[in-house]
Chain A
Amino acid sequence: MDFGYPVLTLLILFPLVAACGLFFLRAPQVVRMYTFVVSVIELLLAVPLLGYTPNADFQFVERLDWVRQWGLEYYLGVDGISILMVWLTLAVLPLCVMCSWTYIGKRVKEFHFCLLFMTSAVLGVFCALDFVLFYVFWEAMLIPMYLLIAVWGGDDRKYASLKFFLYTLAGSTLLLAAIVAFRITGGTFAIPELMEHAFSFRFQFWAFLAMALAFAIKVPMFPFHTWLPAAHVQAPSAGSVILAAVLLKMGTYGFLRFCLPLTPAASEYFAPMMIAISIVSIIYGGAIALGQSDIKKLVAYSSVGHMGFVTLGIFLFNLRGVEGALFQMLNHGIVTGALFMMIGAVYERSHSRDIEKNLGLGKYMPAFMFFWGLMALASFGFPGTNGFVGEILVFVGAFQKSLWIGLLCVPGALLAAAYMFRVSLKMAWGKPSTARSWKDLNAREWVYLTIPAVFVLWIGLNPALFFKVIDPSIEKLLEDFDRRKVAHLETEQPMQTAATAIFGTVADKQ
């Protein structure tokens, strides 16, 4: 299906251009309406993406020269891995506008400007097929996110926003050096072409480390996760939603798009370490979440655990594991996004995120509790919800890889059930100390919670369509990975080369 216009460029540019329109508006209500309409139009513009044919190729490709001497290109395209993330980003935007409708009272115009700017940058990250273009979008998203936390955040917003900015930017500086090194060695910045190039193990070793640092901070993996709880707790609801739903995915997307295809041998070499860190993240995130009294902090730490499942799935290098990882990326976006929106909704009523101050919601807000319950179930992977599909796939992948890896993840899943039950039971049936007169969900809240709820059940009960979209790309990814890794192992002994990677060998220097 060809609609005759460059879909991806339009998707990236439209929010930016529309954001400039905000400068001509004054009344906050008009600004909100306008942004909402823009977000819906953005969704409509993405209709041609439904014509995506499930195969392993990059589609909707656009390719133009950018700076010829340096081989930079304006090169966009999506495959089965990125198209899901694009849809997720597009779907999150209207929900964010809706959930901050009454939450954001000051500098409304700037807030929506940041939201739109952010959407553009994130879409660019998922669509870019030129490494430098990717980096441009990757960095560009920092500024609006920084502002979202620093201007509209909670009491400790300055500390949190600064930490977020410094951590993520410091992490990605080495990524730039890696990108340049890829170009010098591989001769191009175009990602699909770099994927065909065989790099020496010595090169892969360093490139992997430089890239993995940037991605691990973004994910975030233990021990680079400390910015996340601070940022989540301080950010306004919409900021947390975007952070959880799409920004963290950029890190795992980076692993899938760059580390596995470009540095297969090094990925294989570092896989035990990555798996170990993932398992630590899963258990650590769950254990810390269990001890939280602040609901938002609890969900933030649960993100560390959930994203641990994603990175675990990726570094299992088997079909089930990577499928599970991709599903978990989508699921975590939907479920945690919805949880953060609900925390925002309850905060608007109680002005507190303390569990003890939000007891007994089952009685006052049954509809709210229904959605909360559903999302909580999905969060720890109850059968019939989307969380189950993702988690079980990662488990299958883990047990396929090794019994021990599988067994080590089990406590993580149990912890997730424990903290989610604890907070949900308290919120539903706890006895509040004072009488409440809170209203249940209003129409707007119904809308923005129903949409994720539908997806939770849809993916949970019938994930076939999603498998159809992602499987060809994952299969190709893994095929290439195995082929290139094996071809490599025949010529070089990784252990030996790894030992010499740091110091080099006489042969390397010649």
Chain B
Amino acid sequence: MNFDITLVVPELYFLCLVLVLTIQSLGDREWKPVVEKWLPFGAGLGFFVAIVNYGHEGLMLWDVYRVDMMSQFFKIAIAFGFFVTVINAARQPTLAEGKRSDYYMMLGFSALGLMILSSAVELITIYLALELASYSLYAVIPLRARNKGAAEAGVKYILFGAVATALALYGLSYIMASQHTTYIAELMSKSWTFADQPMAVIGLCLFLGGMFFKLALFPFHFWCPDVYQGASNETAAFVATLPKMGAIVILARLAVFLKPGLEITTLLAVLGALSMTYGNLAALAQTDIKRLLGFSSVAHAGYIMVGLVSGTPEGLAAAAFYALAYLVMNLLVFWVVCRVAVDGRNLKLSDLNGLYKKAPVLAFSLAAGAFALVGLPPTMGFMGKFFLITSAWDHGYNWLVITLVLNSAIAIYYYLSLFRHAFTEDKTPDLTPAPDNSWFASAGAGLLAGAVLLAGMVPAPLFNLAVEAGKSLMP
């Protein structure tokens, strides 16, 4: 067993963080200092640790655990996402007293699971890491005091999750039986055509199903809008962003099997096309913002497929870059949603009316987030989409690119309505509390919005990281 402790510093750091949280959750409920007082610093340090550890490479633990550019890229993204969601959840009106440290412990476990997932290069390890990342979320989703919908959301997530996991495990058995290995590096050299290995292809499809569930790709998306709607805003911010990172990194690792023209590649492309079309069309009809974002994430899962099926390092880089863009822009929108819903209610579109007057910075940030999600320049979302279509054009999936482009046109309407309500509607609904207009709320939103715009105008540095990540996967 080769083990190099310096390679896994971020994971170890997160493990320590989670252990401290566990101890605090076991202890006195009045434990001082309260968890919100110190955890943001801890999470911020975690982000820093992940950045510092960037550049290390190595294979360890009987070669099931690979630290490479791709995993480091995603670890940084996950640590950043965890940092933001923790700050975001620091003031959570719908979390019952006395459950705070438990709540963060669960989120921490999930983040740790995702970090392990991003380095796992063997199917069983991937499966275990996926479970670690999922179980804690099953527990977190129903934690929304005085809300019946939350329990329903929790049950839905668990049931769908269990089915997806069962499928993945079943698929795994098929792959093992037909290809006689579970190491991705070895699987890469095997044939993945249906004619040669029908069982393996079916198995891979089922295994991918488990990932699609996390990613909320059509037709594994049914949980998504309901869970977003039922979970508290702050929990939804986590569920909507971080687990997707884990799913994308695994899909990127498995995407090296995919050559343009293979049945399974075509299947992924078709699912991607269906996912973006269905997600966007369904989102058009939503008035609840979290449901809207839920369907929008179904559409975004489809967009990411465009990068994965192209079968080139550029495609994987584009998918990685878009995943990061997706993380940042969604965190931004959820940040604003959480700050506007100070009492933790679910926001309707009409709740945004007149936001520009009540909280100009939040309104501006929401606009940046919404336009990034549409893919309008000069935002990170535009660059991400641009890289995706450039990578996929001329690799046999031009129709998928055209579908993506046409879908962006459909998506304009509902993202624009976020902007429209915030900026051009004046009539505010009565009896809703004023949005959180503190300097802290504004600064957080402003920083995220700045990141979205800056990475849109000067994407080169981030993109270089993504390219290295993409290259590290290719044989």
The docked-state distance in angstroms from the alpha carbon of A66 to that of B463 is: 11
A214 to B278, CA, bound (A): 25
Name the interface residues of A152-185: CB closer than 8 Å to any CB of B.
157-158, 161-162, 165-166, 169-170, 173-174, 176-177, 180-181, 183-185
- Give the contact stretch, choosing among B129-137, B213-221, B232-240, B404-412: B404-412
A132-B386, A161-B424 known; A143-B405 Cβ under 8 A:
no
Complex-state Cα separation, A166 to B374, whole angstroms: 12
- Report B-chain residues with C-beta under 8 Å of the C-beta of A151: 423-424
Question: For chain B residues 449-470, which have a beta carbon within 8 Å of chain A?
Answer: 459-460, 463-464, 467
Q: Are A68 and B460 in contact (CB under 8 A)?
A: yes
Q: Which residues of chain A come closer than 8 Å to B467, judged between CB atoms?
A: 69
* Pair A176/B371 contact, Cβ less than 8 Å: no
- Number of chain A residues whose Cβ lies closer than 8 Å to a Cβ of chain B: 34
In whole angstroms, how far apart are the Cα atoms of A170 and B375 in the complex? 12
- Which residues of chain B are within 8 angstroms of A147 by Cβ–Cβ distance? 423-424
Q: How far is B412's CA from A161's CA once the two chains are assembled, in angstroms?
A: 13
A403 within 8 A of partner (CB) = no
The chain A residue sitting closest to B383, CB to CB, is A67
In contact, B377 and A140 (Cβ under 8 angstroms): yes
Output the nearest chain B residue to A138 by Cβ-Cβ distance: B377
- Asked if A479 is at the interface of the complex by the 8 Å CB criterion, the answer is no
- Determine whether A150 belongs to the interface, using a CB cutoff of 8 Å to chain B: yes
Residues of chain B contacted by A174 (CB below 8 angstroms): 402, 405-406
Is A355 at the interface (CB under 8 A from chain B)?
A: no
Please tell me if the beta carbons of B412 and A170 are within 8 angstroms of each other in the complex. yes
Known contacts A151-B423, A151-B424; A142/B376 CB under 8 A:
yes
Contact yes or no, A173 B420, CB < 8 A = no
Task: Assess whether A135 is interfacial by the CB under 8 Å rule.
Answer: yes
Asked if B412 and A150 sit within 8 Å, CB to CB, the answer is: no
Q: Is A70 an interface residue when CB atoms closer than 8 A count as contact?
A: yes
Given A140-B377, A166-B413, CB of A176 within 8 Å of CB of B423: no
Residues of B within 8 A of A183 (CB): 390
Q: Does B54 contact A (CB under 8 A)?
A: no
B394 in the interface, Cβ–Cβ < 8 Å?
Answer: yes
For the complex, give the distance between the alpha carbons of A150 and B314 in Å: 40
User: Hey, what's the 0/1 contact readout for A49-83 against B, CB within 8 Å counting as 1?
Assistant: 00000000000000001111110000000000000
- Nearest-CB distance from B22 to chain A (Å)? 43
Indicate whether A139 reaches chain B with its CB closer than 8 angstroms. Answer: yes
Let me know if B378 and A136 touch, CB within 8 A: yes
Query: Which chain B residues lie closer than 8 Å to A185 at the CB level?
Result: 394
Min CB–CB distance B230 → chain A (angstroms): 31
- Asked if A162 contacts B416 (CB within 8 A), the reply is yes
Quick one: which of B383, B387, B393, B406 contacts A173, CB cutoff 8 A? B406
Q: Are the C-beta atoms of B405 and A173 separated by less than 8 Å?
A: yes
Q: Does B268 contact A (CB under 8 A)?
A: no
Proximity string of chain A (208-233) to chain B, C-beta cutoff 8 Å, 1 when within and 0 when not: 00000000000000000000000000
A residues 94-150 touching B (CB-CB < 8 Å): 132, 135-137, 139-140, 142-143, 147, 150
Per-residue CB contact flags for chain A residues 176-215 toward chain B (1 = under 8 Å, else 0) read 1100110111000000000000000000000000000000
Asked if B387 contacts A70 (CB within 8 A), the reply is: yes
A181: chain B residues within 8 A (beta carbon): 393-394
- The proximity string for B residues 359-384 relative to A, scoring 1 for CB distances below 8 Å and 0 otherwise, is 00000000100010000111000110
List A contacts of B317 (CB < 8 A): 69
Residue of B nearest to A68 (CB): B460
Q: Does B242 contact A (CB under 8 A)?
A: no
Q: A162-B420, A166-B412 are in contact. Are A69 and B463 (CB under 8 A)?
A: yes
> Mask for B310-325, Cβ within 8 A of A = 1, else 0?
0000100100000000
Set of chain B residues within 8 Å of A162, measured between Cβ atoms = 416, 420
Q: Does B389 contact A (CB under 8 A)?
A: yes
B8 at the interface (CB under 8 A from A): no
Task: Decide if B115 is an interface residue (CB 8 Å cutoff).
Answer: no
B401 contacts A177, CB within 8 Å? yes
Q: Which residues of B contact A67 (CB under 8 A)?
A: 383, 459-460, 463
Chain A residue with Cβ nearest B461: A67
CB-based nearest A residue for B426: A151
Compute how far the CA of A207 lies from the CA of B413 in the bound complex, rounded to whole angstroms. 26
A132 and B383 alpha carbons, distance in the complex (Å): 10
Report how far A135 CA is from B456 CA in the complex, Å: 13
- A177-B412 in contact (CB<8A): no
Distance in angstroms between the alpha carbons of A165 and B419 in the assembled complex = 12
Residues of A within 8 A of B389 (CB): 176-177, 180
Q: Which of B382, B408, B424, B460 contacts A66 (CB 8 A)?
A: B460
Bound Cα distance from A466 to B371, whole angstroms: 40
Cβ A70 vs Cβ B390 within 8 A: yes
Q: Is the CB of A176 within 8 A of B460?
A: no
Q: Which of A65, A176, A184 contacts B386 (CB 8 A)?
A: A176
How long is the Cα–Cα vector from A136 to B375 in the complex, in angstroms? 11
Name the distance in Å between B459's Cβ and chain A's nearest Cβ.
6
A176 to B383, CA, bound (A): 12
Which residues of B324-383 are within 8 A (CB) of A?
A: 367, 371, 376-378, 382-383
Q: Which residues of A contact B377 (CB under 8 A)?
A: 135-137, 139-140
Report the Cα distance A166→B416, complex, angstroms: 9
Q: How far is the CA of A65 from the CA of B460 in the complex (A)?
A: 9
| B378 to A, closest residue via Cβ | A136
Instruction: Verify B401–A180 contact, CB threshold 8 A.
Output: yes
Closest to A169 in B: B412
> Do A170 and B376 touch (CB < 8 A)?
no
A381 CB to nearest chain B CB (Å): 38
Which A residue's beta carbon lies closest to that of B356? A110
Shortest Cβ gap from A144 to chain B (Å)? 11
A395 to chain B, nearest CB (A): 38
**A136 CA / B386 CA spacing, docked (Å):** 11
Residues from chain A with Cβ under 8 Å of B386 in the complex: 70, 132, 176, 180
Q: A140 to B377: give the CA distance in the assembly, Å.
A: 6
CA distance A166 to B411 in the complex (A): 10
Residues of A within 8 A of B393 (CB): 177, 180-181, 184
Q: CA of A434 to CA of B378 in the docked complex: distance in angstroms?
A: 53
CA distance A142 to B379 in the complex (A): 14
Name the distance in Å between B344's Cβ and chain A's nearest Cβ.
30
Q: Which chain B residues (76-102) contact chain A, with CB distance < 8 Å?
A: none
Residues of A within 8 Å of B408, CB to CB, are 173
Which B residues are in CB contact (< 8 Å) with A157?
424
Q: Tell me which residues across on chain B come within 8 A of A166, comparing CB atoms.
A: 412-413, 416
Are A176 and B405 also in contact (CB < 8 A) when A69-B467, A143-B371 are?
Answer: yes
State the Cβ distance, A140 to closest chain B Cβ, in Å: 6
B402 touches A177 (CB 8 A): yes
The CA of A69 and the CA of B386, in the complex, are separated in Å by 13
Assembly CA distance A176 to B408 (angstroms): 11
Interface digits, B3-19 against A, CB 8 Å rule (1 contact, 0 not)? 00000000000000000
Shortest distance from the beta carbon of A130 to any chain B beta carbon, whole Å? 12
Q: Are B409 and A169 in contact (CB under 8 A)?
A: yes
- Is the Cβ of B409 less than 8 Å from the Cβ of A173? yes
Report the bound CA distance from A139 to B386 in whole Å. 13
Q: Return the chain A residue nearest B410 by Cβ.
A: A170
CB within 8 A of A140: which of B314, B378, B401?
B378
Q: Which residue of A lies closest to B425 (CB)?
A: A158
Pairs A–B under 8 Å by Cβ, sample size 28: A67-B463, A68-B460, A69-B314, A69-B464, A70-B390, A132-B386, A135-B377, A136-B377, A136-B378, A143-B367, A150-B424, A151-B424, A165-B412, A165-B416, A166-B412, A169-B376, A169-B412, A170-B409, A174-B405, A177-B401, A177-B405, A180-B390, A180-B393, A180-B401, A181-B394, A183-B390, A184-B390, A185-B394
Given contacts A140-B378, A162-B416, 19 further A-B contacts (CB under 8 A): A67-B383, A67-B459, A69-B464, A132-B386, A136-B377, A136-B378, A140-B376, A147-B423, A147-B424, A150-B424, A161-B424, A162-B420, A166-B416, A177-B393, A177-B401, A177-B402, A180-B389, A180-B390, A180-B401
User: A residues engaging B (CB < 8 A)?
Assistant: 65-70, 132, 135-137, 139-140, 142-143, 147, 150-151, 157-158, 161-162, 165-166, 169-170, 173-174, 176-177, 180-181, 183-185
Nearest first, the 3 closest Cβ-Cβ pairs linking A and B are: A136-B377, A170-B409, A150-B424
